Structure 1
Amino acid sequence: MQQTVDVVGAGLAGSECALQLADRGVRVRLHEQRPVRMSPAHHTDRFAELVCSNSLKSTKPETAAGVLKWELDTMGCHLLSIARDCSVPAGGALAVDRERFSSAVTEAVSSHPLVDVIHEEVTQIPDGPAVIAAGPLCSDALFQAISKAVGEGSMSFFDAAAPIVSAESIDRSIAFSQSRYEENAAGDYLNCPMERDEYDAFMDALLSAERVISRDFEQADLFCACQPIEEVARTGHDSIRFGALKPVGLTDPRTGRRPWAAVQLRAENARRTAYNLVGFQTNLTWPEQRRVFRMIPGLAEADYLRYGVMHRNSFVDSPHALDATFAIPGTQVRLAGQITGTEGYVEAIASGLLAALNTYAELADLPYPELPQTGALGSLVAYATNPATVGYQPMHVNFGLVPPLEDAPRRKDDRRRRMAERARADMASFVGERRDLFPIAGQESVS
C-alpha cells in the first residue's frame, strides 16, 4: 500500500497504532514531541512511558480487564506482548518494569522499516490521513487546534501519580512480603502494617498536610480511579482503610493477626530495587510527602526516587464531537488514546489498535470494523461513540457497559464468567469473519 499516515504521539496508543498500520503495509510518520518539548508528567524521551502506575490491571479471565487482554491478543496486539516480556510479579495483575517496557516499545517502533520517527512538536492538525494520539497532556497549541475542529466540547479532569521509593530504604523488619489471601505464595507485594493508633495519627497528618493545588476539588474535577489519597481520606475517617489500605487477607508475621490497616508496595522493576506506593496518588507538596508518608511503618527512612504529582488531563466529548470511528467529522483524522476519554493503559493500547484498523479500512476501501458490543472493547467503544451518552466522563472497561445476559445466573461470579465466555466467543467470531482486517492475527489467543 503506497499510503502514508501521520501518527501524532508515541505513547501507548500511538505506538500500537504505528506498528499495526506498518504491519499492514502502510508507511507511518510518527511524530513525538519529546525530548524537544517535555510534558509535566513524563520523565524520559522513550515511547510508551507509563507515568501513573506500572500496573496494567487484572489478568484474571473472568474480569473485564482480563477479557480486554484476551481480545487484544486475538487481534494481534504488539504492546501487550511486550508488556508480558517486561512483567514483574504483581499477583493476579500484569505489572511491568517501566524502563524495560518503554525501551522495548521504542526499539520495536523505531526499528520497523515502515515507521519514520520525527521528533517535533505538532501544533496543527495534519491534513490526513492521520491519527492524533497525543494523549491528555498534548501541547496547548495542538489541543486548542483540536478543540477548534471539534467545537468547544473539550473537558478536563485532574489526574495524579503515586510516589516511588528505593527498596533499600524500606525497613524489612516491619514491612513483610505477602499477597492478599496468599494468591501467590511468593508474596508479590510488600505490606506496611498499621495499628489503630498509627492509622489515626497518619489520617490526622494526611488531612492537614499542605497541597500543591490548594483549592478544594469538586468531585467532577477528579478522575475516580486516580483520586489523590488525601481526597479519598476526606470522605471519611475509614475510607482509605476500606480502600487502598484495606488489611483483609493479610497477616502481620510480627503479631500473627490482621493489621488495622496496611499500605501495599508493588515492585517497579524486575530487580525489585524500587517500589510504588499502591493507591497513593497524591497532590501533597514534596516536603509534605516526605513528612506524612514517613509515618507509615516501614517507611520512616524512605528514600524517594520519584514524588507523587498531580496534573490536568484533557479529553474531548467523543460521543458528540467525533464520529463512530473516532474521526473528526468530514476528515480523515482520527483521535486515539486517553484524549478520547477511554481511560486506562490497556484501554489506550486498544484504542490505538482500533484507530489503525479504522484507518486501514478507510485506505483499503473496506468496511469499518464493528466490534461485538458484548465484549470489553466493543462495549467501551459503544459508550464512547453513542450520541445519547449524557455527561461523558473518562471510562475504563467494565461489565456495567456490557449488555445483560439472558437468563443471567444469580451469583455475581457466575454472571461475570458467563459474560467473559460470551465476549471471547463473539470476538473470536469477529476476527474470523474479518480476515481482510487481520492478515497477521488469528493465532492462538492467550487465555
Structure 2
Amino acid sequence: MIHIVGAGLAGSEAAWQLASRGHDVRLTEMRPRWATPAHTTDRAAEMVCSNSFKSDDPDSATGILKAEMRRMDSLILRCAETTRVPAGNSLAVDREAFSQSVTEALKSHPRIQWEEAQIVAPEAGVPTILATGPLTADPLADWLAQHTGTTRLHFYDAIAPIVERQSIDMGIAWMAARYDKGGADFINCPLDKAQYERFLDALLSAERVPLHEVDTPYFEACLPIEVMADRGRETLRHGPMKPMGLDDPRTGRWPHAVVQLRQDTLAGELFNLVGFQTRLKWGAQKEVFRLIPGLENAEFARFGSIHRNTYVQAPAVLDATLAVKSIPDLWIAGQLSGVEGYLESAAGGLAAAFATDRAVRGLAPMPFPPDTMLGSLLHYLAHASSVDFGPTNAMLGLLPPLPEGLLDLRTLKRAGGTRAVKSAKGRAHRERALHSLEQHLILAGGLP
C-alpha cells in the first residue's frame, strides 16, 4: 500500500497514476473536518485562486508541459478538458465541475482507498507522498521541518474576486480576446485616462487586510493588485490592465486601460477578474472595483482574499525525483515542493508517482531529462541556490539552451521579427522535449 497525503491537484494525479500502475493507494484528505483558510469544499483538486491552467500555446512553457503530461495520461488534464470554459488561448475550467470530475474518478477507482484524517507524520516504512499543498497543517509542517533539518519557508498568495455575469453592464463592456486569439471569450471593461486615475487613487488609499507575518514575501507572479499599483502608477497598465490588442467597438481604438473578466463556470453565470487577486478588505473591494466602468452594479459571488503558503527549501531537502534526501520512502509533490501553479503542481504529482512506482518495484531512481519541461522544473528544485530559493512556475528559461546553430535567428528576425524568433525557439524546445520524454519512457519501460 502506498500512502498519499493530500487530495489536491498533486495528490489526485499521484493517486491516479499509481493506481493505474496496479498499486493499492491510501489517499488521505483532512477536509472538511479540518478546514484551511482558502478551501470551501471536501472535494479533490479544488482550485482556490484561479480557474486557469494557463496558456494553450503549444510552444509556450505551459503548452510543452501539458503535452508531456498528456503523453503520460494525466487525469488532471483529462478532467480539465471535459470541464473547460471559454478562455481565449488558455485552458480554464468550471472549477466545481472539474473538482467533482476528479473526485468521482478517484473514489470510483477500485485500487484507491479514500479516507478523511489529519496526518501529523508519515508512517515509517510505508512509501508516502506528501502532497498537502501550500496550506499544510502546522503539525505536519513542523514535523517535516524538524526531520529535514530546515526551516519552513512561506510566501503570501492572493485570490481574485468573482462577480455575477448578469450584474455586468454589457452596454459598456464587450466580449473579445486579446488580438482576437481564441474567440471572444473575455468580458472587457474599458477605462479612459480619467477613469483609470480615479480607480488608481481609490485602490491605493483603500483599506487592506493586515498581514500577520510582515517579513513573509509575496509570490512575484501572483501579486495583489494593490501591491502592483504601489510600484508605480503605470504598472497596472503594463500588467493585468494592459489595453494592447483590445479594440473597443465604440471607438475602434485601444482604451487607456482594460479590466478583463474570465468565465468561471460552464453555465457562464460567474466571471472572475483576471489578475485582480487582492488583500483589500471586503467592503473596500466593493467600493473600489465598482469604480470600473461596467462593474458599477457588480454583485460579488466571492471576494478576493490573501493567505500564507508554505513550501520546503527544495535544494536542501529534495533530489530531482522529488524524494526527500534524509528520509527513506518519502516524496514531496505539488506546491509544498516549491513549484507554483496548478499545472506545475499536478505535474509534480505525476513525477512523484513515477518515482514512487520505480522505488516500490525495486528499480533505480530515474529523473526526468532536464530538457523536458517537467525535468527542468525538478532540476531547478534540486539544484537551485539554497540562499535565495523561491517557488517557480514552468518557464522556457529553465530549459537548457538549444544547440548552437540549430536556428537561423538572423533570417527569422528579418522575416518575422522578435515574435518569429520566440515562436521558433519555443517550437524547437517543444520538439526536443517531447523526443527526450519519449526516449525516457522507453528506457523506463513505457506506461501502463
TM (normalized to structure 2)?
0.94
Stretch moving more, 204-213 or 119-128: 119-128
Q: Is 1:45 aligned to 2:42, yes or no?
A: yes
**Residue 326 of structure 1, aligned match among 322, 326, 330:** 322
- Aligned counterpart, 2:283: 287
- Aligned counterpart, 2:110: 113
SS at match of 2:236: coil
Q: Distance in 1 between matches of 2:351 and 2:96?
A: 26
Q: Is 1:383 aligned to 2:380, yes or no?
A: yes
- Aligned counterpart, 1:307: 303
- Aligned counterpart, 2:249: 253
Q: Distance in 2 between matches of 1:326 and 1:181?
A: 40
**Residue 160 of structure 2, aligned match among 139, 162, 165:** 162
AA at the equivalent of 1:418: A
Q: Distance in 2 between matches of 1:214 and 1:8?
A: 29
- Contact kept? 1:54, 1:96, Cα under 8 Å: yes
- Aligned counterpart, 1:445: none
Q: CA deviation at 1:331?
A: 1.5
List aligned pairs for 1:397-412, cutoff 5 A: 397-407=394-404, 409=407, 410=409, 411-412=421-422
Q: Distance in 2 between matches of 1:25 and 1:331?
A: 22
AA at the equivalent of 1:212: V
**Residue 361 of structure 2, aligned match among 352, 359, 364:** 364
- Contact kept? 1:159, 1:313, Cα under 8 Å: yes
Unaligned runs of 5+ in 2: 410-420
Q: CA deviation at 1:387?
A: 6.1
AA at the equivalent of 2:440: F
Q: Distance in 2 between matches of 1:387 and 1:248?
A: 35
Q: Is 1:143 aligned to 2:151, yes or no?
A: no
**Residue 86 of structure 1, aligned match among 70, 83, 86:** 83
Q: CA deviation at 1:216?
A: 10
Query: Considering only aligned residues, what root-mean-square deviation do their CA atoms show, in Å?
Result: 1.5
- Aligned counterpart, 2:207: 210
- Contact kept? 2:53, 2:91, Cα under 8 Å: yes
- Contact kept? 2:29, 2:115, Cα under 8 Å: yes
List aligned pairs for 1:334-373, cutoff 5 A: 334-373=331-370
Q: CA deviation at 1:26?
A: 0.9
- Aligned counterpart, 1:132: 130
Give the number of aligned pairs: 433
- Aligned counterpart, 1:29: 26
- Aligned counterpart, 2:447: 439
**Residue 243 of structure 1, aligned match among 239, 242, 262:** 239
SS at match of 2:272: strand
Q: CA deviation at 1:254?
A: 1.9
AA at the equivalent of 2:24: R
Q: Distance in 2 between matches of 1:349 and 1:50?
A: 12
Q: Distance in 1 between matches of 2:249 and 2:320?
A: 54
Q: Distance in 2 between matches of 1:223 and 1:414?
A: 30
- Aligned counterpart, 1:73: 70
Q: Distance in 2 between matches of 1:86 and 1:216?
A: 37
AA at the equivalent of 1:439: L
Q: Distance in 2 between matches of 1:19 and 1:406?
A: 37
- Aligned counterpart, 1:297: 293
Q: CA deviation at 1:141?
A: 1.0
- Aligned counterpart, 1:171: 169
SS at match of 1:221: coil
Write 1 or 2 for the structure with the bigger share of helix. Answer: 2
Q: Distance in 2 between matches of 1:215 and 1:364?
A: 46
Q: Distance in 1 between matches of 2:101 and 2:388?
A: 38
Distance 1:216 1:143, change over 3 A: closer
AA at the equivalent of 1:154: R
- Contact kept? 1:126, 1:333, Cα under 8 Å: no
Unaligned runs of 5+ in 1: 441-447
- Aligned counterpart, 2:417: none
- Contact kept? 1:125, 1:146, Cα under 8 Å: no
- Aligned counterpart, 2:13: 16
SS at match of 1:385: helix
Q: CA deviation at 1:214?
A: 5.7
TM (normalized to structure 1)?
0.94
Q: Distance in 1 between matches of 2:447 and 2:252?
A: 56
Q: Percent identity at matched positions?
A: 44
Q: CA deviation at 1:397?
A: 0.9
Per-residue Cα deviation, 1:56-88 (whole angstroms, up to 9, x for no partner): 001111101000000011112111111111101
Q: Distance in 2 between matches of 1:331 and 1:174?
A: 60
Moved over 3 A (4+): 214-218, 387-390
AA at the equivalent of 2:243: P
Q: CA deviation at 1:270?
A: 1.3
- Contact kept? 1:166, 1:273, Cα under 8 Å: yes
- Aligned counterpart, 1:443: none
Q: CA deviation at 1:215?
A: 8.2
SS at match of 1:134: coil
Distance 1:214 1:139, change over 3 A: closer
- Aligned counterpart, 1:427: 437
- Contact kept? 1:320, 1:387, Cα under 8 Å: no
AA at the equivalent of 2:251: T
Distance 1:230 1:189, change over 3 A: same
- Aligned counterpart, 1:182: 180
- Contact kept? 1:164, 1:274, Cα under 8 Å: yes
Q: Distance in 2 between matches of 1:7 and 1:138?
A: 14
SS at match of 1:241: helix
Q: Distance in 2 between matches of 1:109 and 1:434?
A: 25
AA at the equivalent of 1:210: E
- Contact kept? 2:150, 2:313, Cα under 8 Å: no
Q: Distance in 2 between matches of 1:21 and 1:406?
A: 36
